[in-house]
Amino acid sequence: QSPLAKYLYSVTPEPNDPAVNPLVAENYWYQAPNNRLEWTTTSRVDHRLSDRDSLFFRYTHGVRDTYAQSGNNNSPTTLDRSANGTWRPIRDNTGVASWTHTFSPTFFGETLATIGVEDLNFINVGDDKKWADTLGLPNPFNEFGFANITSTGFGMEYITAANRRNSIVHIWNFDENLTKILGRHEFQFGGRLRHEKLNILPDQQQVQGAHSFNGQFTALYDPKSGSAYSGTPFTGHQSADLFLGTINSYSAQFVRKWYDMSAKEFALYFQDNIKLNSRLTLNFGVRWEMYTPVRETNNYLTGFDPKTKSIVNGADWDTMYKIGATMPQIVKAFTDMGVPFITPQEAGLPKDLMYLNKWDFNPRAGFAYKLSDSGRPIVVRG
């Protein structure tokens, strides 16, 4: 008996319907957990400093915790909680501070500062240990988490229930909105500064390795097939291969880890609301916006140049190897297939791989016309 099979059998729940052959139907029945705790608290304070100034502050904290048994064939969580279970903790925090000031009866403004932080996480039972090393399985990328072991022949599978991933987003906004009334005109103008920081761990799919069995190692050889690998039908079994530790299929994927990205927004706007008479109001305005390209701290974002049909790397190979963005073996595999790699400069691109548009203007024109002055007036807007 292989050490792998011995361990897996030791952490598999005992049948509670032993009269059923597990090779024919399920022989274990249970209630699978799917638990969620969710709550939100909000606190707000309003304060009037004077006839001209007022403040308010608001803070919101949200929590969502989910635990679920997850796996193919409804496999239960192992007895040692190493496989077939996933947590999804989510944390949201937002804060707002606002100051409204009246300069005069015809001129007033609002200063608004906001911050939002979201931490969206997917983790699994067993993610704190390098299980492939413990079980004597390949671990070419030195990964944590339980290796996927499927097609065992008796209905039970052992997997990392969800791809480990994480998204931590910070957003800061600073807005200034001013209003000036002058005769028939209502001028609205102001601007925004925005900063976003995005720390992203992409889906870590099959990084721990995936193993499966098909029964070919315990099947009788079929000399009539003409192939050196064909077995006689109805001989051999997946569970027998698992017992001996003979794995039919293995794969592992290399996936990049954390991206440390950021972006900014700058905006200005001006609008004139002109009340021509008691029935007709016209609106004319323009907004200017500038969004900086998303930047990764190590410049290891990757693009594609359709002109030369080349992969464009923002960072050089030494940098990408050092930070674990790729491996020499992977680069060699691509270059052996004839895939060309070029720098952003060779592709005619900036270092961030994206151009900055400084001239994004958005004009606006509108009207509101009141057709009647009755108790239920009809207003047309456009």
pLDDT tens series, the chain, 382 aa: 999 999 999 999 999 998 998 888 888 888 888 899 999 999 999 999 999 999 999 999 999 999 988 655 678 999 999 999 999 999 999 999 999 999 999 999 999 999 999 999 999 999 999 999 999 999 999 999 999 999 998 888 999 888 999 999 999 999 999 999 999 999 999 999 999 999 999 999 999 999 999 998 999 988 887 777 778 888 999 999 999 999 999 999 999 999 999 999 999 999 999 999 989 999 999 999 999 999 999 998 999 999 999 999 999 999 999 988 999 999 999 999 999 999 999 999 998 899 999 999 999 999 999 998 778 889 999 9
Q: Are strands 360-370 and 86-87 parallel, antiparallel or unpaired?
A: unpaired
pLDDT of 348 reads 92
pLDDT tens digits, 124-181: 999 999 999 999 999 999 999 999 999 998 888 999 888 999 999 999 999 999 999 9
Question: Which phi and psi angles does 122 have, rounded to 5°?
Answer: -125, 120
Q: Are strands 259-275 and 280-291 parallel, antiparallel or unpaired?
A: antiparallel
pLDDT of 374 reads 79
Q: What tokens does 107 get?
A: 């001129």
Task: Strand 249-251: give its sheet, edge to edge.
Answer: 148-150, 210-212, 249-251
Ramachandran category for residue 317: left, alpha or beta (phi over 0 → left; psi -120 to 50 → alpha): alpha
pLDDT of 25 reads 85
pLDDT of 107 reads 97
Sequence-distant (≥ 6) Cβ neighbours of residue 49 within 8 angstroms: 55
CA 262 – CA 299 distance, rounded (Å): 11
pLDDT of 231 reads 82
Q: Are strands 360-370 and 280-291 parallel, antiparallel or unpaired?
A: antiparallel
Q: List the one residue out of 319, 263, 254, 323 whose CA is nearest residue 296.
A: 263
What SS3 state is found at 253? coil
**Type of residue at 152:** T
Q: What tokens does 299 get?
A: 């410049």
Q: Are 63 and 42 in contact (CB under 8 A)?
A: no
For 117, half-sphere exposure in the C-beta direction (CA atoms, 13 angstrom radius) is 7
Residue 94 burial by Cβ neighbours in a 10 Å radius (0-12, 13-18, 19+): middle
pLDDT of 225 reads 76
